[in-house]
């Protein structure tokens, strides 16, 4: 698991020079599987119908795999690259600045604008998904973007930046010769630590969500959820104490005592919140 995560991290570093995949495929599948448990029968039927009607072959067609579709799509659609994160700066947190001043959405939402952040795009695709006038092809796109962006929004390093491409420029030493960048660590290592596969992780995390937590997490909106992720990045992810900026000669940073445990716990909580909130968004759209 760890070796795979490290390799995935290196690929991410090479292939994704600006902020990255946000949760790896496992993390996104965990969010989707948690959400599935909270869907109303009507929303669950709508989701199944959308999955069944979608001929796209970029990912497998099941819900967990479709949650990573937007990352696969952006390889040939670089105009969607900025939509996956909000680079809220640690030293002057300003969500509006990170979100390009919250530009108006094009119609259809899949047409942009390219300069928009995950908060603006999630809102735009959610509105479109809720609108019965949206045509079938655009509805499929809106569904797959919502499915993915709720996850991205909850990866702390997709809502924070230290002039280091959301941690992509921060090499971590994991012991021995193993290194991974901070962003990839939060995409994959913290998720892999939670269980052997997405379904197992989702079942275990879902079982621990109390009704009062769910109720509390359903409050707020994409903006407040982004700032919550930012707070986790500031308190936990960036507790590695790395210097701001990107330079090629950065020496790997050793993880502080207890960092891994705190990171795993924070990631588990973020995945739980994302699952509950994805269900909220889908239930809103389909009921
Ligand atoms: Zn993404």
Q: 270-286 burial, b for 16+ CB within 10 Å, e for fewer?
A: bbbbbbbbbbbbbbebb
Distance 19 CA to ligand 1 centre (A): 9
> Nearest to residue 152, comparing CAs of 247, 257, 232, 67?
67
Q: Could you give the C-alpha distances from 42 to 38, 244, 263, in angstroms and in order?
A: 11, 47, 36
Three-class DSSP category at 161: strand
Distance 85 CA to ligand 1 centre (A): 7
HEC per residue, 225-278: HHHHHHHHHHHCHHHHCCCCCCCCCCCCEECCCCHHHHHHHHHHHHHHHHHHHH
Domains along the chain with CATH numbers? 1-287 (1.10.575.10)
Distance 155 CA to ligand 1 centre (A): 9
Higher pLDDT, 240 or 14: 240
Mean pLDDT of the 4-20 span? 39
Distance 160 CA to ligand 1 centre (A): 14
As a whole-number percent, the residues of the chain with pLDDT over 90 amount to 88
Distance 20 CA to ligand 1 centre (A): 7
Quick one: how far is CA 254 from the chain centroid? 25
Whether the pLDDT of residue 112 is over 50: the answer is: yes
Distance 203 CA to ligand 1 centre (A): 23
| Phi, psi of 216, deg, nearest 5 | -65, -40
Could you say which DSSP state residue 186 is in?
Answer: I
Distance 16 CA to ligand 1 centre (A): 11
C-alpha span between 101 and 109 (Å, rounded): 17
Higher pLDDT, 253 or 2: 253
Distance 134 CA to ligand 1 centre (A): 23
> Tokens 């991974």 label which residue?
180
134 conformational bin, left if phi > 0, alpha if psi -120 to 50, beta if neither: beta
Higher pLDDT, 165 or 249: 165
Distance 258 CA to ligand 1 centre (A): 28
Q: Which residues have C-beta under 5 Å from ligand 1, the single-atom ion?
A: 22, 71, 84, 152
Distance 59 CA to ligand 1 centre (A): 14
Distance 176 CA to ligand 1 centre (A): 30
pTM: 0.92
């Amino acid at each position: 698991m760890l070796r795979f995560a490290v390799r995935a991290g290196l690929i991410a570093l090479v292939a994704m020079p600006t902020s990255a995949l946000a949760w790896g495929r496992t993390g996104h599948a965990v969010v989707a599987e948690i959400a599935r448990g909270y869907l109303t029968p009507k929303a669950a039927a709508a989701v199944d119908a959308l999955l069944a009607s979608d001929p796209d072959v970029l990912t497998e067609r099941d819900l967990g795999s479709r949650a990573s579709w937007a990352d696969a799509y952006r390889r040939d659609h670089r105009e969607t690259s900025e939509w996956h994160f909000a680079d809220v700066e640690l030293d002057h947190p300003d969500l509006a600045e990170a979100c390009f001043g919250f530009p108006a959405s094009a119609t259809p939402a899949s047409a942009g604008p390219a300069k928009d952040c995950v908060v603006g795009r999630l809102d735009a695709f959610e509105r479109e998904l809720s609108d019965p006038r949206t045509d079938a092809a655009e509805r499929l796109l809106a569904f797959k973007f919502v499915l993915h962006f709720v996850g991205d929004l909850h990866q702390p390093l997709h809502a924070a930046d230290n002039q280091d491409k959301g941690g992509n420029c921060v090499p971590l030493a994991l012991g021995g010769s193993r290194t991974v960048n901070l962003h990839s660590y939060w995409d994959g290592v913290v998720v892999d630590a939670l269980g052997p596969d997405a379904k197992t992780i989702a079942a275990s995390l879902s079982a621990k969500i109390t009704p009062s937590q769910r109720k509390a997490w359903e409050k707020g909106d994409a903006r407040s959820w982004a700032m919550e992720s930012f707070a986790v990045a500031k308190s936990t992810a960036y507790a590695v104490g790395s210097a701001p900026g990107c330079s090629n000669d950065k020496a790997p940073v050793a993880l502080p005592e207890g960092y891994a445990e705190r990171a795993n716990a924070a990631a588990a909580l973020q995945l739980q919140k994302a699952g509950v909130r994805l269900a909220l968004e889908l239930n809103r759209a389909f009921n």
